[in-house]
Structure 1
Amino acid sequence: MDNRPVYINKHTNLLELEEHIYHLVDAEVPNVYRNLFPYDEVPKVAFNNRVVPHNMPDDIWITDTTFRDGQQSRAPYLPEQILTMYDYLHKLGGPKGIIRASEFFLYSKKDRDAVYKCMERGYKFPEITSWIRANKKDFELVKDIGLKETGILVSCSDYHIFYKMKMTRKECMNYYLGVIRECLEMGVSPRCHLEDITRSDIYGFVIPFCLELMKLQDEYKIPVKIRACDTMGYGVNFSGAVIPRSVQGIIYGLVTNANVPSENLEWHGHNDFYKAVVNSTTAWLYGACGVNCSLFGIGERTGNTPLEAMVFEYAQLKGTLDGMDTTVITELAEYYEKEIGYRVPSRTPFVGRSFNVTRAGIHADGLLKNEEIYNIFNTEKLLNRPVMVAVSNSSGLAGVAHWINAYFQLKEERRVDKNCELVIEVKKWVDEEYESGRVTTITDAELIQCIDGICKKIGVNLI
């Protein structure tokens, strides 16, 4: 007889049958899903056509790992640089604090100096959190600095449990639970980083482990957060795909079967298979309140989910920016280039130099008539980046005119069109360049020099 209780799901207002409790499967040999991950072949995506419902929380947010995962893949930032970027993140997140938290290393004096400088700002958001090794000395460091939360690595796939940690699942779980209990004894909220979750045994290890973590949360009355880490970028958002690769399947299991509250759950994705953004959005749609990102996607190997991408994913899902100041994204890109010496690849959406630059002459003609035809949104308003046209042999008169208007930011009454003498003369020079064998795009510096000479010749002043 099935005597499981029936209860109301407060999110869907539907009666549901309580799931069975999932117990640890203490496997004797590791389950590495060789059928899905044959190392000498491309990983496979399999389907069982089991689908789960959308379950987007009322509130969703972004957390930042620029100063943790982002720093693992590049030269360390200086404390002054971290402070400036932290200020930018605060401004970008807006009055509602959509960028909810930012995590920091604590190991070196330089790391701690950066934390102290940021704490002095007194911002509520982004909340300053840490990432530490799982030992008592590091827990004491977190508490001494005055942080309320820290991330702790709890790798969850058999690849890590058996091959790296040299433990059984039961030994590993007991070790993790002991570490988390030590953290809670210090009064610090643990954020459990479930590393390599997309190659783990979800119902044989992850769900039973998270059920135990939720018991600790009830015992200590301190939030125990879960970060689902797609460490290798294997997650997929396809409906009906099998776990452990199914993002929605993982999130559903954590929320429904492991009783993890949505506000305690976030997704941390990597971009090895170009899916970091869509997988993060999927995590939101199926029950995670948080997605963990880094600026411009800078992170291990192919990088993390770009923070700026999720700002615009948020706006598309919610229908509003909720006060986020997206012009800060452009300011951050300029800061990285001028002060840090890092140039974002030119075709990177929202921040690359060429993301809203068109090179085709027929497109330029359309832009000149109405920029909405070939621009994704009002990039000048939202990013302080007017739409641009690169000048080449295919740009035509319209392309030259548009470049002049955009570069010199000419107001309506002073804008030039393709019949203007200046435009015609510049177009002649461009044609001569390509007739003499040139194959590259005309640079901004070359155009400025050419325009300056023609303006002096015909008596025009664009300034």
Structure 2
Amino acid sequence: MLEFSKRTNTLEQSACKYSLQDVKEPNLYRHLFPYDSIPRIPFNHRLVPMHVPDEIWITDTTFRDGQQARAPFTVKQIVDLFDLLHKLSGPNGVIRQSEFFLYTDKDKEAVRKCMERGYQYPEVTSWIRASKKDFELVKEMGVRETGILVSCSDYHIFKKLNMTRKQAMDMYLSVVKMALEYGIRPRCHFEDITRADFYGFVVPFAIELKKLMDESGIPIKIRACDTLGYGVSYPGVALPRSVPGIIYGLRHFAGIPSELIEWHGHNDFYKAVTNSATAWLYGASAVNCTMLGIGERTGNCPLEAMVIEYVALRGDTNGMDLSVITEIAEYFEKEIGYEIPPNTPFVGRNFNVTQAGIHADGLLKDEEIYNIFDTGKILKRPPRVAVSQHSGLAGIAHWINSYFGLEGENAIDKRDPVVIKLKELVDKEYAQGRTTVMSDGELEDMLKQIAPDFVERFKKE
């Protein structure tokens, strides 16, 4: 059967209809996931079309998935971070939702205080167990959308739930119907989708959810959960690991619209950011993230990374205040005591710091030579130089200028006597066997020895 597609303005064959394959033995894809070896990446060289949605956005799970791998936040910390999410998101809801637990008194208090803020964005959503009591709790709290775990690989269905595929699907559908009866928007978390039988379970289940959505008039979201980070974005890669194939299949074969598809990826194989961006490109409107990528094992997709990726793909910030990324990082370190690895992109203290003398010389002449973008303007994090035995005169001059905020005619050159004297003291340190970089405090003390008037004149308030 042929149908005219308004998206492509061409005639297209209507999608095949897939039925549940209720197998007796689990399909564990042992040829791909041998367990005693590195998982394999299969190719079938089939390409699906890119289908970027009209709108793309970010959702947050810092207070749910992210919090599972660290000491729980206090209520104040949750509210403060929620405020920063709102500030970063801007008026257009680029960061559209934030997900919470509802179980403890502290969870409930945090949700109430965040909802009392009255923000349109991010919307407060929840995650619950599949029970009537939990649905009543969601209703009582006034939360309009909740996540529901619907594990979809045979690893989970057969090994964790001890069910058949049909039994699992029937149970999941009954839970979704319960949510609809309460007037709550369900968000179905397709756990372990990158090890699931896509055409034998995922698509048939999604088709049934689409039927319930059409009958009830209540939108049902699908969160495609790459639980162990197995997703791959390469062209021509085969299911079940293909991120393009998963997103295309949910749209094309199950009829799920882009605005109801969300990607949730983990970083076990260093692919969280690329896979999330790929999900956007192939038709998912939402990608699910955590601040700083916190989460169990290797963590979730970092929210700040997808904020930057959003701007790179769309060409503008859509109202976001990117400098809040730096505020979030500072809050985690100063108020929460979380140690961010120093070389973490955008948020680590050394992400735009150079130690090489030749690079420092380039920065001194024009920071654009060695800085990824205007980090001072965009993130309120100007590039800096870490002083070590490799810094040279240029590196020390750059450190002085950046540390004291010297610009224009006040900036000093690498031939300045102050720079030369400071380098002599630094060289002496390393000649005595030092191996670590110099701290700001040490360098300032050295400057006080050789040029007290200089320090007094330019010392920051």
Q: TM-score, normalised by structure 2?
A: 0.98
Tell me how large the CA RMSD over aligned residues is: 1.0
Cα distance, 1:325 vs structure 2: 0.5
Question: Is 1:190 aligned to residue 170 of structure 2?
Answer: no
Aligned to 1:121: 117
Q: Structure 2: how far apart are the matches of 1:394 and 1:47?
A: 46
Cα distance, 1:125 vs structure 2: 0.4
Q: Structure 1: give runs of 5+ residues left out of the alignment.
A: none
Aligned to 1:175: 171
Aligned to 1:219: 215
**Cα pair 1:191 1:224 within 8 Å, conserved:** yes
Question: SS of 1:222's equivalent?
Answer: coil
Question: SS of 1:42's equivalent?
Answer: coil
When residues 417 and 44 of structure 1 are mapped into structure 2, their CA distance, relative to the original with a 3 A threshold, is same
Question: Is 1:293 aligned to residue 289 of structure 2?
Answer: yes
- Deviation track 1:336-378 (CA, whole Å, cap 9, x = no partner) reads 1111010210000000000000010000000000000000000
Among 393, 396, 409, the alignment partner of 1:397 is 393
Cα distance, 1:458 vs structure 2: 7.2
Q: Structure 2: how far apart are the matches of 1:439 and 1:49?
A: 50
Higher mean alpha-carbon deviation, 393-402 vs 440-449, is at 440-449
Question: SS of 1:461's equivalent?
Answer: helix
Q: Structure 1: how far apart are the matches of 2:323 and 2:209?
A: 40
Q: Structure 2: how far apart are the matches of 1:408 and 1:343?
A: 26
Cα distance, 1:453 vs structure 2: 2.0
When residues 405 and 459 of structure 1 are mapped into structure 2, their CA distance, relative to the original with a 3 A threshold, is closer
Q: Structure 2: how far apart are the matches of 1:341 and 1:9?
A: 53
Q: Structure 2: how far apart are the matches of 1:10 and 1:74?
A: 47
Among 317, 322, 329, the alignment partner of 1:326 is 322
Question: Is 1:374 aligned to residue 370 of structure 2?
Answer: yes
Amino acid at match of 2:26: P
Q: TM-score, normalised by structure 1?
A: 0.98
Question: SS of 2:438's equivalent?
Answer: coil
Question: Is 1:344 aligned to residue 345 of structure 2?
Answer: no
Q: Structure 2: give runs of 5+ residues left out of the alignment.
A: none
Cα distance, 1:61 vs structure 2: 0.2
Question: Is 1:232 aligned to residue 225 of structure 2?
Answer: no
Count matched residues.
459
**Cα pair 1:455 1:461 within 8 Å, conserved:** no
Q: Structure 2: how far apart are the matches of 1:459 and 1:24?
A: 74
- Deviation track 1:54-74 (CA, whole Å, cap 9, x = no partner) reads 101010000000000011000
Question: Is 1:93 aligned to residue 89 of structure 2?
Answer: yes
Paired-residue identity, %: 63
* Runs of 4 or more consecutive aligned structure 1 residues displaced over 4 Å after TM superposition: 457-460
Q: Structure 2: how far apart are the matches of 1:219 and 1:452?
A: 76
Aligned to 1:69: 65
Among 420, 425, 432, the alignment partner of 2:428 is 432
When residues 35 and 459 of structure 1 are mapped into structure 2, their CA distance, relative to the original with a 3 A threshold, is closer
When residues 458 and 342 of structure 1 are mapped into structure 2, their CA distance, relative to the original with a 3 A threshold, is closer
Aligned to 1:145: 141
Aligned to 2:358: 362
Question: SS of 1:101's equivalent?
Answer: strand
Question: Is 1:23 aligned to residue 16 of structure 2?
Answer: no
Question: Is 1:241 aligned to residue 234 of structure 2?
Answer: no
**Cα pair 2:447 2:455 within 8 Å, conserved:** no
Q: Structure 2: how far apart are the matches of 1:433 and 1:147?
A: 60
Cα distance, 1:313 vs structure 2: 0.6
Q: Structure 2: how far apart are the matches of 1:305 and 1:153?
A: 19
